[in-house]
Amino acid sequence: MNNKIEQIIEELIKLDPELKKYREELPEIVNSLILLKPNLEINDNFRAELKNKLIEKMLSSPKNKNNNFNYMKKINYALGGILMLLVLSLPLWFYQKGNDLNKLAQVDYQSFSINKIGKQAFGSLENDSTINAPTVDQAVGLGGGGGMAMNATKESSAIDSSMRIMPPYEIYNYKYIYQGESFEIPAEQMAVLKREKNNNQSGINLVKNLNLDLINLEKFANAKLQNFNLVEDKKFGYYINVNLEEGAISINENWNQWYGENDFQETKIEQVLSDQELINIADRFIADYKINTSFYGPAEVQNDWQMLYEKAADKSLMYIPPAATIIYPLLIEGKQVYDDWGNKQGLHLNVNFNQKKVINVWNINTQNYQSSEYQMETDVQKLLNIAEAGGLNYYPYSEGKTIEVAIGTPSIEYVRTWQYTNRENNELLVPALVFPILDQMENNNKQRIVIPLATELLKQQQNIIEDQPIRILK
């Protein structure tokens, strides 16, 4: 007997154990309908036909001669269940006849490759439209880029600590002084990498034979599955989003299964877990769910808030987040990947202090790239001038205290950026100079200045900076 038919019958018997007496008749009924209608549509005609066949078989059985009325009720009760099982099972059954379900998505999240192609193969690195203005965090320096630094307090924090924009705050401008060694840019042409998302997906039609009573999805031409969600319906279950088009997976807590009234109390400093405890929890999660970390570095705890906490004169006023972020830094051929604010990029996990569990994971991405050479800026003095001015994303204020900050010898790494062109959003890794900040800045946790080396990006971003007025505070 076909496994799917057997599964349908077993589920039907679970709905009404009395039907087990007529198990011999059920395979024939279900199988006959499948054979008669291989492209089965679950509609009113099918419902009537299935009901009639079930009733006909049951009533014609000698076992039922004296129990016709009772079995009429049982059949009507079970009909809804078997219909639902057919809706869920038959499309997969038909699809499985010609395809391996394990290959539906054809997205490989385990491999790593770099495919070299021709020069400037990605077109212009400049965007079609003006780059978006800095976010609030970037402007005020919480992300490390702006000129205004701020102490985060309970009074200035909302539910999401990243949205803190209320005073008290102090105004600082930073003057960067290069104290590193001399260096050179090794080549005029260097490789820019473009992440391949999911090229195989274009050839997969996942709605074949999936005709529901609500609508016939087969009528939509070339319909492809773009993303889907899975939800664990259990205590501490997860909500998983798989974006097949982007080649990306994210995991979040299934909110209803995680939190009660007592889980939203103010976090105390004694609840904060040590870095090693946090890393152990993250490592266990990675191992349990078999997430590939072969192209990532060892786990690191992001504890910028603790630096502000330690510097605070009155620690009782400081906001303590309920969770910590752990990152496994992405390494491409030994080079670190950063964003343009100097933050390491990679696999991120949040661990809740109270639950001592991972609550979300993001940046589980495919790691296959195309590589194309582009022109790089080789004028070292020009690059130093940009670094000493605070980088491409520094916007000074017209007032405030000026602090001198030392920066050291840069290394050549990658900066993660995006290319918006022809209505597409391409993720690029561009060679960049990463200058370490040697001094701990007052009320600012910025650790690096990142300058992309691609001449196109330097030209575009410098043009944007020249159009930005100096920020004047009332």
**How many whole angstroms separate alpha carbon 286 and alpha carbon 293?**
8
Q: Quick check: 25 and 87 in contact, CB under 8 A?
A: no
* Within a domain: 308: yes
pLDDT digits (tens, 9 = 90+) for 297-316: 999 999 888 888 888 888 88
pTM above 0.75, yes or no: no
Burial class of residue 387 (count of CB atoms within 10 Å of its CB; 0-12, 13-18, 19+)? buried
Per residue in 218-256, pLDDT (tens digit) is: 777 777 778 889 999 999 999 999 998 899 999 999 988
Strands 148-149 and 367-375: unpaired
Query: Are residues 352 and 378 located together in one domain of the fold?
Result: no
Note whether 280 and 338 are same-domain residues. yes
Which pLDDT value is given to residue 421? 79
Q: Are residues 389 and 340 in the same domain?
A: no
Lowest mean pLDDT among 142-146, 192-196, 321-325, 355-359: 142-146
Q: Is the pLDDT of residue 42 over 80?
A: no
* In a domain? residue 107: no
- 3-state SS assignment for residue 422: coil
What range defines the domain where residue 160 resides?
A: 112-190+370-466
Same domain? For 213 and 362 the reply is: yes
For residues 381 and 404, state if they share a domain: yes
Do 350 and 261 lie in a common domain?
yes
Residues 455 and 336 grouped into a single domain: no
Residue 106 within a domain: no
Pairwise pLDDT comparison (202 vs 125), residue with the higher score: 125
Grade residue 159 by pLDDT with cuts at 50, 70 and 90.
very low
Q: Is 339 in the same domain as 220?
A: yes
Mean pLDDT of the chain: 76
Pair 275, 310 in one domain: yes
Question: Domains in the chain: how many in total?
Answer: 3
Residue 150 confidence (pLDDT) above 70: no
Residue 420 has pLDDT above 80, yes or no: yes
Residues 85 and 209 in one domain: no
474 in a structural domain: no
CA-atom Rg of the chain in angstroms: 30
- Cβ atoms of 174 and 391 within 8 Å: the answer is no
